[in-house]
Amino acid sequence: MDELLIDFLTETAESLAALDDALLQLERVPDDPEMLAVVFRMVHTIKGTCGFLSLPRLERVAHVAEDLLGDVRDGKLPANAALITVVLGALDRIKLIVSGIVATGLEPDGDDTDLLAELRDMRTRGPAPEPEPAITLDFDTLEMLPPGTIESLAAQIAEAVPMAEATPEAAHGQPAQTIRLDVNVLENLMILVSELVLTRNQLMQIARTETDSRFTAPLQRLSHLTSDLQEGVVKTRMSPILGAWNKLPRIVRDLASELGKQIDLVMLGKETELDRQVLELIRDPLIHMVRNSADHGLESPAVRLASGKPAHGTITLSSFHEGGQIVIEVADDGAGLSTERIRARALAQGLASSAELATMTERQVQRFIFAPGFSTASAVTSVSGRGVGMDVVKTNIERLGGTVDLRSVAGRGTTFTVKIPLTLAIISALIVEAGGQRFALPQICVAELVRAEGSGSLEEGALVVERVDGTPVLRLRDQLLPLVNLRDLLQMDAQAAMNSADPTALTVVVATLGGTTLGLVVDQVFDTEEIVVKPVSPMLRHIKVFSGNTILGDGAVIMILDPNGLSRAVGHAGLTATVKDRPVDTQAAATERTGDRSAMLLVRLAPDASPVAMPLGLVARIESIAREDIEFTSDQPVTQYRGQLMPLMALDSSLAMADHVPVLVFADRGRSVGLMVEEIVDVVEDQLFIELVSSRPGLLGTAVIAGRVTEIIDAGHWLKQGWEDWFSDNPGPRNAKQLHLLVVEDSAFFRQLLIPTLSAAGYHVTAVDSAMKALALRDAAVPAEFDAIISDVEMPGMDGLQFARLLKEGGPWMDIPLIALSGRFNPIDIRRGGAAGFCEYLGKFDREALLAALRRHLDQHERQAA
Amino acid sequence: MMLSGVMAGPSAPPAATELPTTYVTLNLAGQLCGVPVSAVRDVLRQQPIAPVPMAPPDVAGNLNLRGRIVTAINLRRRLNLPPAPPGLQPMALVTESNGELYALLVDQVCEVLSPDRKRFEPNPPTLPVTWTKYSAGLYRLENSLMIVLDLSRLLALSVEAS
């Protein structure tokens, strides 16, 4: 194709998209001269250029449209809905012809006489007049108006004013300087930078093993430059999400008139940027979702008015960044999903039995709309309701490595939430091992990591592998997860399959693969890494369980697992057929153990390390210390802090020294130790499901925080070493008589936190994981003696409140101070705790408050006893 | 048929005029073979190769060549030759095809030769079937035969491979 023609087509495609938008704005603010001028100029340019390129059909249509717009500009015709509809019709024809040229290089044949006649007709006769919008009233009429009318008018005007103001800004908001670049140039740059990042990572890995290397400083600099360069190049691939949204106003407008509904489309976060490649791929699913909201979500004006809502329905699109992902929400304020209809439909289509449906939660029922071929629309409209809706959307989003979910409230509307990665070139992945080889599992499909016993009893919340119809499953909270061994899926070393042997402990990655949540059994789990996705060689492309390959920091080449491919492999193996997402009976669901709510501080310990978490309750203060304030005493960095010398520790020697170093201050018995970190990333407070890892000292466990598996470090372990060196010659005050505490806490994680904290404060600690075990200590032949009891409130079996009431009923422990620790911390719970017999009710996990409460009550207790 | 294939392919040179002059020679199950020196990007010895589950049997795995992922092809398997004796550390010739890098695992990479082109001849009918498929002809050297490997055929996605 002629280069000139290619340029024209590119430009025209851009102007056409902008024109749609401009015309819709014009319809809202009909007499905006500036917007009129913009529209006129764009059509004029198209007409002019196609005359030059000899595209007669295109020129004719554009010419007549231009004439009509010229009359509007000159004030001869009003720009009302009827006229805009005709002009939009002309634009559609132009698009059709342009796409014909793109496909064949030639103008397609076709008859435009109807359209041209309509345009000319509109020009000579003018559009049908619209109801007079402006009202003139005299005071007598005003007096007669029902009360409240003026106020509502005023509100409407106030709403319209900012809209009018915003319009010219949008017209001027074009980028000042842009250049057109071949996409391939950027793609190549991206590949090169990716290579550079890999090489840098390898170098850093080598450098980490060598202390005092001359290379350290220049490497550090190279590392920073590489990161900056990577960021810069990634930025060139980014464009605002608006690129995927710009067709929507027009689509919604057409839908509204087709369906006889009144629909407002609100777009928030238009500027949110994402990778161009992702943007292209997300466009169609989004259009589908908006259509779905307009058709199924919003009610007709009559129904809306009857239920006390405004006649205008609103579809709100919003997008924002969250934890390395982009979140897009499509919300409508319609009737919400009818779970009754979905239930009936699911039953009719044989997706679930009535017994299964009866035990399902609202949300589980609502998710049926993502099932293939599912549709609740009673009438098949031309818009949707053909049963090829949401399942296709879901598949396409998952293909991008994203997820989609929904929330629906009856009468209030439905919100779809799509989460997709910012870029497809670099992903965050969990490195796992199976059959002696490592694989990368995209982080987005990892829900949590758990360890399960291959055999054993079901008590005490231990995770045990059970069997349903011969299929190994894991009971995790309210779900039975089918277990699949990654080794089997990859057809590696079949004889070690878990069906034949009964292994003692399994490492299970709870993963969402193509809509099914299952437990993927792996041999070992390593860290999460940011990996550069490289396409697999054509010779291996037929293996669907891999989506790419990558080179790790240590130079090893590993395969990236494709969640959808794995899901298909699971399906082929017939492993999920028997227990697909089957909820456990309601009784079991009622006793489910919720995760502990805890505040975590996310920090980066070294320049390129992934963020790690530590319980915020352990940190006394966060300070920023200037580099010149750091001194060295016998090779130990220290700083003056509140009139004392405070030793500074770093967990990673490759910590870059900025002008100001963030320092986490840990305090204990009047002494402080600072932990230098690279960066404080965030504070997250959430329900965390913490998976314990005991194999590595200093590591408490892992949890999924902000969508990624994050290591939780035991800062205390590291600090203790430096601490002992530092304070060995000036020991702190010790309690003459060591007080004995009993800790009742079902969460191993919190036990691991509490024991060292309390021990460090000078107490002798005994910990048990259930109230029953604590009572066993009391009722033993020789009852154990404690000075205070600290108990969790939410525990499986006997909870903390029951436990407290039992203790206060009588027995040897009746008068021991009882302190409650709870994730739920509100006045009602506190009152309930007090009534049960707790003398203190504290949040999880506030170290200072706990130690203060202990001091308070133990002193009091001793005085009373004396 | 073989000849017409050579003539038709734009990359495969027609017999005498554009025949490569210099070859990297290699040993594969006792047979001397040659690959045009211009097609060889690298010669590697004892590289760690990461096997790929579910890969075709003649794909040995992936290796990392200065940050690029290279697919390693087990030439003995590809040519249906008996497996290498245990203890033999294969060497690899790295070549490029359609922008992808491949490492051909061979028993040993030998020397670089520039044989007299008059010694070149098309595949004789007596050549074992194993070789005819991937041979672009051969050179009759002083005391041995050197089979010229047809790389584009070797790296083509054969039906058997997938």
**Are residues A435 and B53, on separate chains, in Cβ contact within 8 Å?**
yes
Please indicate, yes or no, whether residues A375 and A449 belong to a single structural domain of this protein. no
CA distance A488 to chain B (A): 11
Q: B144: distance to nearest CA of chain A, Å?
A: 33
pLDDT surpasses 50 at A429: yes
**What CATH number corresponds to the domain at position A621?**
2.40.50.180
Per the CB < 8 Å rule, is A557 touching B69? yes
Gyration radius from chain A CA atoms:
33
CATH number at A548 reads 2.30.30.40
Burial class of residue A18, CB neighbours in 10 A (0-12, 13-18, 19+): middle
**Do the Cβ atoms of B157 and A559 come within 8 Å?**
no
Domains of chain B by start residue, with CATH: 2-154 (2.40.50.180)
Number of compact structural domains in chain A: 6
Contacts of A557 in chain B (CB under 8 A): 50, 61-64, 69
Mark whether A282 and A307 lie in a shared domain: yes
Report which of A782, A755, A749, A780 is spatially closest to residue A767, judged by C-alpha positions.
A755
Q: How confident is the model at residue A650 (pLDDT cuts 50, 70, 90)?
A: confident
Res. A316: pLDDT tops 90: yes
Q: Which of A569, A590, A611 is the last residue of a domain?
A: A590
Residues A229 and A289 in one domain: no
> What is the span of the domain harbouring residue A199?
183-237
If asked whether residues A375 and A441 sit together in one domain, one would say no
- Judged by a CB distance cut-off of 8 A, whether residue A364 touches chain B is no
A436 touches chain B (CB under 8 A): no
The reply to whether A411 and A436 lie within a common domain is no
Walk across the sheet containing A621-626 and list its strands: A621-626, A660-668, A671-676, A644-650, A636-641, A630-633
pLDDT at B158: 47
Does any domain span residue A71? yes
Neighboring chain B residues of A537 at a CB cutoff of 8 Å: 62, 69, 71, 100, 102
| Structure confidence at residue A135 (pLDDT) | 47
CATH number for the domain spanning A203: value is 1.10.287
Which residue does chain B place closest to A532, by CA atoms? B67
A51: exposed, middle or buried (Cβ count in 10 Å: 0-12, 13-18, 19+): middle
pLDDT of res. A691: 61
Closest Cβ–Cβ partner in B48, B54, B73 for A491: B54
pLDDT at A94: 86
For residues A373 and A245, membership in a common domain is answered with: yes
Q: Quick one: A715 and A788 in the same domain?
A: no
- The per-residue pLDDT for A315 is 94
Chain A environment of B102 (Cβ under 8 Å)? 537
What residue type is assigned to position A851 of the chain? L
- The listed range with the strongest mean pLDDT (A67-71, A126-130, A656-660, B61-65) is B61-65
State which amino acid sits at residue A271: E
Inside any domain, residue A178: no
Option in A540, A555, A559 nearest B64 (CB): A555
| pLDDT band at residue A121 under the 50/70/90 scheme | confident
pLDDT in tens, A750-763: 776 777 677 767 78
A263/A347 same-domain check: yes
Report the DSSP beta bridge partners of residue A465. Answer: A474
pLDDT winner (highest mean) among A147-156, A245-254, A375-384, A450-459: A245-254
Residue A773 CA, distance from chain mean position: 40
Higher-confidence position of A709 and A340: A340
Model confidence pLDDT, tens digit, residues A391-422: 778 878 877 777 888 888 888 899 999 988 77
Q: Are A541 and A430 members of one domain?
A: yes
Q: pLDDT tens digits for A12-57?
A: 887 787 788 888 887 777 777 777 777 877 887 777 777 767 788 8
Residue A584 clears pLDDT 50, i.e. is over it? no
Once rounded to an integer, what is the mean pLDDT over residues B126-151?
A: 87
- Answer yes or no: do A435 and A584 share one domain: yes
Does residue A670 register a pLDDT over 70? no
Q: Provide the pairing of β-strand A446-453 with B135-140.
A: unpaired
More confident residue, A681 or B144: B144
Residues A54, A146 within the same domain = yes
Q: ipTM of the assembly?
A: 0.84
Greatest mean pLDDT among A23-32, A488-497, A715-724, A790-799 lies in A790-799
Q: How many residues does chain A have?
A: 866
- Compare CB distances from A490 to B54, B69, B100 and report the shortest one's residue: B54
Domain boundary among A590, A606, A627: A590
Query: Of A699, A727, A755, which marks where a domain is finished?
Result: A727
Classify residue A176: in a domain, yes or no: no
Q: Out of B50, B55, B67, whose CB is closest to A195? A: B67
Same domain, yes or no, for A275 and A391? yes
| φ, ψ for residue A711, nearest 5 deg | -80, 140
User: How many angstroms separate the CA atoms of A146 and A730, rounded?
Assistant: 84
Chain B: residues touching A (Cβ < 8 Å) = 48, 50-56, 59, 61-64, 67-69, 71, 73, 98, 100, 102, 157, 161-162
**Residue A315 domain-assigned (yes or no):** yes
Q: Is residue A501 part of a domain?
A: yes
